[in-house]
């Protein structure tokens, strides 16, 4: 009887620990979402919508080619942008 009681206490303690971990995780996720929302709001304040019309000069990135560099047995893809 005493062993079952100790085991039940252990199980309850473990569940409490797991619930605490889940709470901390949810709090962290919420803080991350709030941070992202703040960053988006700050970015959106600085960015102005722009309209482009035909014959406007705009810069664009073009990926001309990719080449593979082999260094120390590792392959590195390098893209050149112009």
CB-based contacts of 77, cutoff 8 Å, min separation 6: 66, 67, 68
- The whole-number pLDDT of residue 20 equals 96
The answer to whether 64 touches 82, Cβ cutoff 8 Å, is yes
The confidence band for 31, taking pLDDT boundaries of 50, 70 and 90, is very high
Q: Which residues pair with 71 in a beta bridge?
A: 74
Mean pLDDT value across residues 13-42:
95
- Of residues 63 and 37, more confidently modeled: 37
Given a cut of 80, is residue 25 above it in pLDDT?
yes
Residue that has been written with the tokens 């889940």 in this structure: 22
């Amino acid at each position: 009887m005493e062993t079952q009681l100790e085991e039940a206490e252990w199980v309850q303690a473990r569940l409490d620990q797991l619930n605490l971990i889940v709470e901390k995780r949810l709090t962290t996720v919420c803080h991350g979402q709030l941070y992202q929302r703040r960053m988006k709001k700050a970015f959106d304040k600085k960015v102005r919508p722009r309209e482009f019309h035909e014959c406007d000069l705009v810069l664009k990135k073009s990926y001309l080619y990719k080449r593979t560099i082999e260094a120390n047995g590792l392959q590195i893809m390098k893209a050149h942008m112009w």
